[in-house]
Amino acid sequence: MAAVEFALLLIPLLVIIWGMISYGIMFTYRQALSQAAGEGARAAVAAPSTSTWTAASAAVNNALGSYSQACGTSSGTQSTSYLTCTVSAAATCANDASHTCVTVTLTYPYRTNPLIPNIPGLGIIVPSTLTFVSTVEVS
């Protein structure tokens, strides 16, 4: 009788544990994306010229290196390894027309490309995309 009760409780327990692990990894990656967007924006401030994309993408690549994700090497919007990177320089900032702003946007389609496989049914409760935007004032 105890073996039957154990078998009935084991499956839901394993699903809960797997869900906790899955969400923990997703939140860790989410934090890494947030940090990478900020690092890319800060690097763009240090190189406010034609090398803005190069500096920003290098900083993003450095921050996401442990996840095997990277931005492309040319300017504009780049998609590699499911990660989409966009570095854009606005002619003026929204809050101050006399300054220029650089925006770094990172987007990762997490639901279709999870870092670890989902248990059937768990995929519908994870976010479809992880998007982070970081904007800095250059001058």
Nearest alpha carbon to residue 90 among 125, 135, 47: 135
> 34: number of CA atoms within 13 Å, CB side?
6
Entry pTM = 0.78
Using pLDDT thresholds of 50, 70 and 90, give the confidence band for residue 60. Answer: confident
Domain of 8, in residue numbers = 2-137
Judge whether residue 79 has pLDDT over 80. Answer: no
For 27, the token pair is 């939140």
Using pLDDT thresholds of 50, 70 and 90, give the confidence band for residue 48. Answer: low
Q: Under a CB-based contact definition with an 8 Å cutoff, are residues 61 and 81 in contact?
A: no
Q: How many domains does the chain have?
A: 1
